[in-house]
Each structure stands twice: as C-alpha cells, then as structure tokens.
Amino acid sequence: MPDPSSPRVRLLVSVRDAAEAALARDHGADLIDAKDPDRGALGALLPETVRAIVAASGDRLTSAVAGEPQDGAQATACLAALAGTGVRYLKIAWAPGREVAGLTLPAGIPVIAVLFAEDGPEGADVPALAEAGFSGAMIDTRGKDGRRLTDHVALPRLAAFVAACRSHGLLSGLAGSLTLDDIPVLAALGPGYLGFRGGLCAAADRKGRLDPARIAEGARRLAAVVPRSEAA
C-alpha cells in the first residue's frame, strides 16, 4: 500500500473493461480503477470483468468500486462480491456519520471509503473512518451533471480533509468530474490520488471511451507538480 505520507500525487483512471485498462496502463495511469460509468458514480462491474481488468493492468495498482450500499450489512455483501477478483483496493460509498453496525471489511484487502461531496464531508469525518478499519478515504461527486468537486466543496475544506487523512494514516483521494486544469490546484493539497473518468474521455463524456492523449497529458501534468516536501 502506498505510504499516505508520501508527497507524490498519483493518477487514478477509472476504466470499464480490459481494453481500457490496457490503454490506461500504457499511457501513464498509476492506479487503474474498475467502474461501470453507466451505473452512476460508483457502479460496480461484474466480478469476471474486474478480473479481466486486473489481468490487463500489468504492474499497475488496481481498485474496484463496490457500489453504493445503504448500510453496513449491504456494504459487507458488496465488498465480499469483489473480494476474490485480485484487485489491490476496494472502494465503497460511505455516508458521513453512518453507523458501522453490520460492516465487516474483507480480510487482506484495503478498503477506501468514498464520501460524496454533496453530503458535505470534512476532515472531522476521518477519525471515525479510521476507527472503522478503512484504509483510505476519498471524496467524489454523486451527481454527474457537469458540476465539479470544487463546485461542492471549497478548497480549504478539501485541504483539511486531506490533512486529516494524512494524520490518521489513511490514503486520500479527490475526484468528481475533474478536468486536467484542476490538477495543479488540487495536487497542491497533497492527496494520494486524483481520480478521473470524464476528464480523460473524448468530448469529456464519462460514458464514452478513454482518450489516450488525455491520459498521457494528465500523467505529464501530475509529474510536473512540485511535491509538498520540496515546496515547503
């Protein structure tokens, strides 16, 4: 698992199949994320599709979204369904303040809690996630209506969220209809990952196909970011 205290910001690219996974692998993705863009923000793919994505990802880290459960028991079932696919991480939607009753995280696979920007997540939510056993936390947008992450959550709150994750030893991520131009501002906050789908697709259509030139440009821009430790 990457060190949450590392100054490097990595590029997460969400893919829908093995062909897109190979494309992301070959053009600079650090983490290849299995997701069905036709099923909302965190639509889970079938286990066999996730296995094919893992196989096509080569030496890149992989993750898979496991859906948007309503409670801990549903989350347990969603995570269990993908636990044997070979991914390095699992991601599950988790509402701020949700009770952990009924939640059992799969053994041996770090799980990332995904908080939706529309629910007003903040750094104060992070200690409970760490106590529940999550290995990381990410903010994404539930609605894919053209509004970006920063339309919902101000930069100081995003910075506080990332800092809280770091202080509690959690990997952090920021996503939500991001564009390439968001990279300098959000990377400066020091998250572990910036997550993309639509911003790396042709015509910015998240349900379309990934554009290799956009993936490569995203990787280039992230590589140009000065790490926090060097900027201090």
Residues 6+ apart with CB under 8 A from 9: 187, 190, 191, 192, 193, 194, 222, 225
Active-site residue, 207 included = no
Catalytic residue among 16, 25, 27, 35: 35
Helices 47-56, 72-82: inter-axial angle, 10-degree rounding: 50
* Single-letter code of the amino acid located at 175: A
**What is the spatial distance between Cα 28 and Cα 111, in angstroms, rounded to a whole number?**
24
> Is 144 an annotated catalytic residue?
no
Among residues 217, 216, 195, the alpha carbon closest in space to that of 206 is found at: 195
Catalytic residue among 10, 91, 197, 214: 91
CA atoms of 224 and 210, how far apart (whole Å): 22
Residues forming the active site: 35, 91
